[in-house]
Amino acid sequence: MTPTNGEGAEPPHIVVLDGGFSTQLSCHVGHVIDGDPLWSARFLYTHPEEVVNTHLDFLRAGADLIITNTYQASVEGFVEHLGITAEESFELIVRAVELAKRARSAYLEEYQDYLQNDRIPLIVGSVGPYGAHLHDGSEYDGSYADTTPVETMKAWHRPRIQALVQAGVDLLALETIPCQEEAEMLCDLLREFPHMKAWVSFSCKDNQSIAHGESFQKVAKKCWETNPDQLVAVGVNCCAPSFVSNLVKGFNDDRPHDPIPLIVYPNSGEKYNPQIGWIDRDKCEAVEVFVQEWLELGVRYVGGCCRTYAADVSRIRNQVHCWRDRWRFQAKYPYAQNNNAE
């Protein structure tokens, strides 16, 4: 999407997200985190300082927001795997937000002489799918939605969202959602927190479908229409970067004057093998290679998910800067592009 005659010279605002929390956290704790039933959420309890430092890594790399370490956090999960009470589990989710706020405060103090007032990073509360706490792989295909009543999922999500909102997050990330039923339920549940806004992003199995098999574009648009007042964006995460362009291409063709904001934060492109871990990194194109193409397609929030580090966030931010500079140039010299095309 490039400017045409009559458009202003200032490009659209692009929000740079952080990267894979557990991936960057592993740099601080010294070992791989995959396979734990609580995943990185365990470290809220065991290594809180490393959680703060991980958030700081992303802020220093140029992230405009940081996502709390609560993707796999739930009251039931903490009770079962940490042996703490339900009340303590609720407070541990609150603590995740407090740790993110500590990182933000440290960052703002560290860079106080360089930051503008509009560069205050947001704290975003991660709300992962119901299937994540089952620890049976069903979060990757959404099959749990075929046997789990919607009200059961809603009752599981409600206290974790309550904790995040109570702790003062700026925004919620309803993320890595694999199935339509859960996504629509979350958009409806959001109404119980009328002053809170959120994005909803889906895990996708190919370049057309979310993990459970439904059409990404149809489901995402339906979610937006369900709660347009509280959603700030819809999109995809935790998928291969090579899928993204086709997933979002043409998304807003039917509403050119009122486009739905799009968010994408895919994995590195590596594949996960349960027996040996992540493989094929040498076969992947880096996420930043795709960034300018995604921005042309209307993406307005961009970052990384699994296996992306703070260094990747820095490179993503550089690509955003390059795209914005190109936009300004084309707005100022619209004929230069036409002459080059000839």
Query: In 3D, which of 203, 178, 216, 170 has the Cα closest to residue 305?
Result: 203
Cα 197 to chain centroid, rounded: 14
Main-chain dihedrals φ then ψ at residue 72, nearest 5 degrees: -105, 20
Confidence of residue 83 (pLDDT cuts 50, 70, 90): very high
> What tens digit of pLDDT does each residue of 280-318 get?
666 778 899 999 999 999 999 999 999 999 999 999 999
Residue 75, H or E segment: helix 75-82
Q: Could you tell me the pLDDT band of residue 273, with boundaries at 50, 70 and 90? A: low
238 is in an annotated binding site: yes
pLDDT band at 267 (very low <50, low <70, confident <90, very high): very high
The encoded tokens of residue 1 equal 């999407």
Q: How many helices (H) and strands (E) does the chain have?
A: 12, 10
Greatest alpha-carbon pair distance for the chain in Å reads 69
For position 114, what pLDDT does the model report? 82
**Binding residue per annotation — 204?**
no
pLDDT, residue 47, reads 94
305 annotated to bind ligand: yes
pLDDT at 6: 43
Among candidate residues 237, 28, 9, the one with its CA nearest the CA of residue 124: 237
Global pTM? 0.93
Which CATH architecture fits 15-341?
Alpha-Beta Barrel (3.20)
Check residue 66 and give its pLDDT. 99
The residues spanned by each domain of the chain are 15-341
Burial class (CB in 10 A: 0-12, 13-18, 19+), 273: exposed
Give me the pLDDT at residue 270, please: 76
Cβ atoms of 300 and 14 within 8 Å: the answer is yes
Tell me, what's the pLDDT at 276?
Answer: 58
Q: Indicate the range of 34-38, 128-132, 270-274, 293-297 predicted with least confidence.
A: 270-274
